[in-house]
Every structure is written in C-alpha cells, then in structure tokens.
Structure 1
C-alpha cells in the first residue's frame, strides 16, 4: 500500500490498483455507515455495525472472534455469542462484496479470526489521525499555515459523536478516545492560529468549547491569551476566575502552574504576552517596567558591553536571578539607548513544543517578514525535515552572520531556562560567532540546575551577573516612587516583607492601594496580607514543581526560622534528596540558609502560602506536623508550639500527648501547656476519667507557676479551689495573678 500524501490543496490523494476497494468508503464519525461509490450500503442492526467498527478501526489486522465478542458484549456475553459473530460477519461480507467479481475480497476469514482489507484512506477516522500527524509535522517544521489547513481538514471529517448509538464497551471506549482527540485537535489548531496572529478568530472559536471543558487548562490558556491579544483583557481575567472557582469546587485545588502564570502575566500586562521582533521598539518598551530604580553597577556593565558591540566587539552576558527580581527590566533599561538593531525573544513553558521558536522570534523570522532573507528562511524551515538537523542550525547562524556584516547586532533572549533544545543548539553556535563578529548576546534566566546543557554553556563562556534583591535604600526609593514620599510606618512595614524583590513590592503596593488600609497584624506580628494579594504572589511561583510547592507550604507552618531537619522529616525524603530540594529553593532565592536553620528570603512569600491555605487544611497539617516531629523525638515544647499555633481538633493522639507531656512543659512553656490542657478538657469527646487526669496536670502547672522566689513550691491546691487560688498564700496568689490571665488559672470545664 502506498503512503498517504498531500496534494497541492492539502487534501488527501491516494492511488492504488484496487479500484473496487478504493470506491468503498467507511464513516465511523456519527452513525456507522458505508458506501460503494455514491450508494449507501445497508449494514443492519447495531451489533452488526459494532463488529464492522471494530474491524474498520483495526483495518488490515486480524481480529479474533473472542476479541469481537468482548467488544460487543463485554464480560457477560450470551451463550449464542459465537454463532452470532459468525452470522454478523457473513452478513457484512455479503454486503461489502465488490460488485466487480474479479475484485479482491474485502472481509476475509482465516483460522484465527477476521480481517477487513481496505486502505487507510477508505476510513474517515484513519484519515482524521493521518491529518493530525501531518499537522504535527508541519507545525514542527515552522509551517503553521500548513498545520491549520491539515487540522481544518481533520475537523471537517468529524460529523458527530463517534460510533453513535452503538452498544458495548468497545464503542464506549472509542467514543471517549475520539472525543479527546477532537479536543486536542481544536487546541492544536488554536495554537497555530495564535502563532499567525489570528487572535480574535481564536477567541471566537474557543469561547464555547472552553466553557464546556473548564478543566482543559491548555484550552483555557489559549483562550486567555487570544482574548488578551484581542484587546479583551477584562474578559480574560473573568474567564480565569470562573475556571479557578470551578477547579477549587471540583478538585479542591488551584489551577495548574501554566494557567496561573498566564493569569498573572495578563493581570500585570507582562510584555512576554506579546511576541517581540528584531528592531521592534514596541517589544523593548513592553519589557520596561513603569518604574525602575537602582542597579547602577549592573546597568553600567551592560551599557559598556552595548557600547563595545557598537564599536565592533562581540560578547556574551548572562543575567541570572530569581523570579520577580527584575532581570528583564534591567536589560530593557540598558537597551533603551542602544544605537544598533536589537532582537528580542521570550521563551515560555510551551517553547519546547516549537523547535527554534525562541531564536526565530529573536531574529524576526516569519513568513510575512519584510526582509526577504528572513521570509526565505521561514519558508525553508517549514518543510518536512528534522528540526534538529545541523543544516537548519547553520541556516539560522548564517542569517545572523549576514546581519552582523551589515551592522552590529544585539540579541536578547529572556527566560532562557525554558529554551527549546533546537534554539540552544543555535545559541551555542552564536556564542562562538561573538569571537569575530559584532554580536552581543544577552540571556536572562532563573537559577539553573547543575549539569544542564545551558548551565554548562554559561559556565564556559561570557560573563554572568547574578541579580540580587534591591538594597534597603533602593527598595525605599521604589516605594516612594510608587506611593509618594514618607509612607506611613504601617505601609513601610508591609512593603518590607517583600525583602527587596521589586515584583513582590509592586504587588504589595497594588494590594495596599486596592484595599485602602491594612488589616491588623496577625498573631505572630506579621503585617496582614490580603488574601487577593497572597493569591497573586503565590501564582507568581506557580512555575515551581509540585515537590517544591509542597516544601514551601510546609515551611509556611514553621516559625520564621526553623531547623533544616524538620523540613526533611515532614517531606518524608531521604537526607540527600531533601538536601537537594533545599539547595534548589535556596538557589532560587526563596529560602535562605543560616547554618542548619532555614527561613523564607521574602517574608511575604511565607505569608502568601499561609494565607491561601484553607483553614481546614492548615489545621490538619499542624496536627500532622506535631505528630511527625513527636515521633522523631523533637522536644515537647517544640511540638506543643504547633498544637497551640492553631485550633487543632482534639483527637485521641492530641489528648494522650497532652496528658503525657503536660507536666514536662512547665519549665519551658507553662502557659502553652495550660492552654492545651483547657482545650483538651473542653473537648466533647474527653471522658470524665481523662478530664480528671487533666485537672491533675493543670494543678501541677499552677503549682510550678506559683513557686515563691526561693524555688519552694506552693502547697497542694485542692481542685475545688483552683479557680480562686484562695488556698494559696497571698504572695503566691499575687504571683499567679501577675503571670496568668484569669481563664488559665480556672479549672477547665467541658463545653
């Protein structure tokens, strides 16, 4: 059989000597049907059509009789199943026999089963899947228009619900599979349309289907992006909030990292939402923040390199820094006065699906480029070829060489940590080119894992500038520019929790300006963070892998500083793996290490994870944390702190722990112990026997607190007189009054 091919109109063409067979066509989308030329073939009842569907979906393969029985009836076939299959196949063979007596048989039998011998082109689902594969090839080879044409053809074949009205487990499973393939086809078509700038068309096409499939985050991402680029920013934000509400309601969790990142980009009008092109000043303008302060040393270094390339000297500069620290803003500020062409490209989490995408964006290579060299390269790369082929890399490098022969060139690639492998191959060759060409490469990225290809290239070439948070003076200057000079102390304290991260600081100012006033600080002295602001900041970290997110969620429950070993215990990781995870979070600028203790580098991140945690989950985690630490031999006062930090529900373990450890807490945490005793005693499930034992613990704690100055304990206090302390000497009673609020001195009562 010859392979399927596309003709000039991107329609299927197929040639075969089996003319009678080619004239036979099968439709499995919608109701199962068959035609010979223009005449529809009568296929008979549902079970017979199910047999035909199985044979058609496995065309040119032998299907056993037992497989057909399973497909039609599942695990409970009738006793007559074997005979029924024979009858169905005989009837189908008669119906499908070509009218030409010399033509080959279509439905064959052999010792093991049955085989439908037809070319793939004769079956609509086979054509659908072949068109999808053709679209993938064209898209990988930078031909989005060809991909769109193939996907349009594929969707045209989808006449309705696949295998409509057919019974049996096989038909049900195939229906779900094919519905999923159709949705994926819609997504792929939308992505290709976005690539060619058809944003309004995508928004119109996706609105209905996205509303019917709120959990398909790739589909929602494309809708958000197309709405934003169509000038419908508010609608995009509303769509996300609707999807978020449904996700929380149905799954109990926030949307995934890619979708939340897209939402944050839209909310902040991130320049990365727009493709930037060489010599496009608007691309540079979109990268610049509204306010830029500080970074004098880094700016001077970048401007020196820019001056160097303008005088014919190439170079490579790497800008490394955590999320929100201002890498893009720094480079954009430095490039403002550049007097030579500047190409800008921004990678994202989807870049790996599009070979060379980042480099082609940097160079403005597209089909409609006014420069014929760029347009020619775009056409050359769209053909069916290996995207990692050295010749393609060489073609892109040769274009850069020609551009540098005309004038010095600066290429800025942002978010290199998401660079696709094909673009990395080009970037590596361009690094070599800087040695003898007026080419300045600037790459910005987050901290890279050791051993990564990009990290090795960075360590071997150029200069690396590691961007840290703004200094205290720079942060104060930014705050003054954003809200005016001499901010009130509460606002300054609130802003200080950003710890010099300009993105977080700007988010906090937005929150303050939105809410108009700050809530009172919470129990541990941290300025209260509005939940809406906490959600924004947490979403900015949605790119982190799930294990890192889990680590930060646990860390938010600890004190501002906590032992490294405690985090390792709650994560239940081997020591080496826990250490590696902590190293990644420290390198990413999210945690700071002081010997064997850890803390959040930006207190606002701790608040964000704490504030966005539902109370029920937070209480459960406090309870779980206390038990894990107790089992590991952690001192009782440390465990008590977690039980007392939140109103953890009293269960058997909590009750037994307080009874076992209450007395031991007297020297270090007597008030915490008294609060826990009262909480456990007041719990409705506490028995009278346990309550009596808890009263003994309560009396012991009071005795310890009522010691006189020489260390002599006060006399035994009868239970009936605990609430007044009347039995105590006047001096002991006075000490208790000074040291305890009245409710802690009173005997605990059940509620």
Structure 2
C-alpha cells in the first residue's frame, strides 16, 4: 500500500485507488501513516479525530474505522493480509512501514541522501529537487482535524528548510539569479522565516545586487518589529553587516540546521531487571495516558543504589520505537549549557551556529524539537533547575528523569519512588546473576540495593573457591564492605559522596548525628542547639532526599539512616 500525504490525501493498493471513506477515517489513516512503524495509542487517535471533544462511542468508532480500512484493503486485493499491514498492538495500532510506504517517507529518504553528499553541490541539489518533487500541494490537504493541522504546519516547515538546503547547494554552483527568483515569492509568503530571508539576501548579494539584499533585510526587520515586537536574530544581523562592509560571504555563514540526523545516545541497559515490573507498567500507563498537548515527563526517584538508572534505561530502550527521531542522554553532573551544546550538535547544528548564552541555546533546542518525536533520558537530577533548561519544545517528545528527590516544582506526568528490594527479590536477583542462593546474611548486608547485590554477586563469581557464607563473613566486616561492594565505576561510596556533598551544612550536621544512631527531632535539636521546628525541617529534608527513614515512636518520629549510608558516614568520620 502507498499513502500520499504531501498534497491531497490518497491511498493506493497495487496502483489502484483505495476508497478511504469519510473525514474521520481519512484522519485516522493520516495519523497512522505519519507515525508508520510506531504504535499510535487509541487515545491519540481519538484526540486527532475529535479534537479533544470525543463522543462516548469514540473508542468503538475507532475500532470500526480500523475494520473498515482493513476491509477496503481486502476488497482492493492487497497481496498481504490487512491485519499484517494495519497491526493491532497495545495500546493502539501501527502501520507496518515494510508493507505501507508514503511519499513523506520518500521525501525524508531523499533529504537524507542529499545531506550525505553535501560535499558535491550538484548531486546534493539534484537530490533535494527530487525530494521537493514529492510534494503535490500543501501537506495533508483538506484534512480538517486541528490536531493534524499542527502536523501539517511542521511538514510545511520541513519543506521550506529543504528549499533552503537546495538553494544553498545551488549558490555553490553559482546559480544566484535562479535562487533569487525562486525564493522571492516564498519570502513574501513567509515573512518571519529568517533562514529563508538570509538565503535570499545571500543570493542577491553574490549576484551583485547589494542594494536589493539590504532592502530584503529592512523589509524583514520591519515585519518582525511591527508584527512581533522582535529584532532579527544575530545571524541575520551579521549577514547584513557583512553586506554593508562588502565582506565575502559563503552559504555556511547562514545557519543551516540539519534536522534529519537521528541520535541514538542511550547507554546499554543492565541485562537483568528484577522486581520492577509494576513500576515499569505504571510508567508505561502514565505515558499512554498523557495529554497529547503537554510534554510527557516521567520521574524516577529513590535511594542511592536502588536502581533508578537501570529502570530508566530499560524503559527508554522499550520506548525507542515510539520515538523514531532519536534518543538523547545526559548525566546531569554536567552543566546544562554544555549538555545543550552537545544536544544541538547531535541534532545537526554546525558548531559555529550554536549560540553561546544559555537562553539562546534553550530557545534553539526547543525550536528544533517542537515537532520531533525524541526521547530524552536525563540522569541524576539534583533539583529542578538542572532539568528545566533541557526540556524540549513540544508534546511529541518524551522525557525520563532520574532524580535524587521528587521534583515537586516541575510539571511531571508521573513520579515513582523506588524502594530497596524485599529480601526474596534481592535473593532472586543474586541467584539469577550467580546461579547460587545467597542466604539471608548476604541479602541483609546489601540492604536490598540492586547495585550492592550486583557487586556482591560479581565478588562471589570472581572468587570461585568461596561459598556464600564466606562472602557473608567478608561483607560483615564494616571496614571492608564498601571496598568489596564496588564494580568499576559503580561505587556506592562515590554515589553517596556525590549526593551528600551538595547538601547544606546543617543537613550534613544532621547526617553526622544520625550516623551515631537513630534520633528524634528533640534529640537533634539538643545536639545541634537548634529550635525544634528547625530540627524537624532538617530531618524531613533528609527523608525527601532518601537519606533517612522515619519511624513512628508513640507520638513522635524517630529517624534512622540506611545501613550502608550510616557505614559510609562512619568511615568518613573515622
């Protein structure tokens, strides 16, 4: 089957038209074709068909439209079973891209080929021309859904960027007048597109029409100021300055943002994930139920060593299919401006076009991601400020965050808190890694932390002459345990230091008190000479950061440290 999206919506089977039915059925096919190869949740199909005001029968109507499309394929003589082309897969449906092709897919493939041969301007310009020939008119012509019109606007923007890409290749071939003639009406129709205007200015300037180039700049500046209250961006201003001083300007001076690159930055997920299936299901359900008009943000929080990153990686790898434009990864120990610089480079922005100020990087990143289906995994967020500047610009992306505490000041779709594994699941993980039952002593000494269990399992495997009882004996030595529970850079001591070093001084003092034993707010107040209310705030702050556990004792609370954290703090004090 072949679906045409770049113009009037059409579908063909073996060269024969496929009857599509009414506007709802057409909208359903359009969304499935736009997302070919990815599961489109039924909730998103309902949103596209009824623009947020569905009838009670919406879900049944969607199922009916799917059946009708399959029947139409069957009647048209599709060589494959319609159920293989239009596949039912929870929580919705997908079109198999191997059995259903689109003019949009061909357009993107030709764009990618043109970009790959950009060192040969003639070949690149020819491929860009073939890509633009895929367009028979405005994208998604006559589709009435407001939800899908936003997709159409994004596609029109891609077309204009491709026109600019081809024009830059033509400028390298000396076709200045041809470029100026073709771009002038497009600039008039899109007065706020600064890249389009810059390429037109460059074509006029390099064609010895300096006065006309400066007129194009002034027209654009007037439109931006009068209509939007904005000055032209720095690239356009720099180009105007270069023309005024008659500098030599090449197309590379004009920002050319290649959005066809597909970053795949996820680290590998650990091979085993034990005892977290309920959390995975909850995160999937939250993502499936997210509003189609807001950015889905999933947060995983929990104590050091509880497996936040492992769970996030398992989830992210499962979500790759639903995010075909790529996956970005960052460890948030790095500064946000440096992370944004790397992200922009990964999305195809040339190094000399990446702006320096953080706000400008944020703006460019959100522009580039506004309509892309990207997944971001942001690992080890200390607070909301480390995250906000890295959030993409549209609801078609998804963000997974691991955090040291719940990010309550951030608008999140869902937050789950990981706890240490119960003894039976910790034992299951150890046995799966070693083939040996650990015994209760080993499980207890690891505190239910998956990272500690993995380290203990690796230690036993590295010493085949040991029994689990030998491992327990070595781990029971407080002076040895932290050194033993280490696998390469998976070091509990380093992780605890990273978390506690950024705490305020009173919180670190409270930790030092708790390292000597459980404490109530009254006890902490006396030891640190603080008002009781201040002591209560400090203890709850530690709970919020997963560094202390509250236990009710009568009418008050007693706070205790996780065993391995207490051991870490005791060693520091020693």
TM over 0.5: no
TM bucket normalised to smaller: 0.3 to 0.5
TM-score, normalising length: structure 2: 0.43
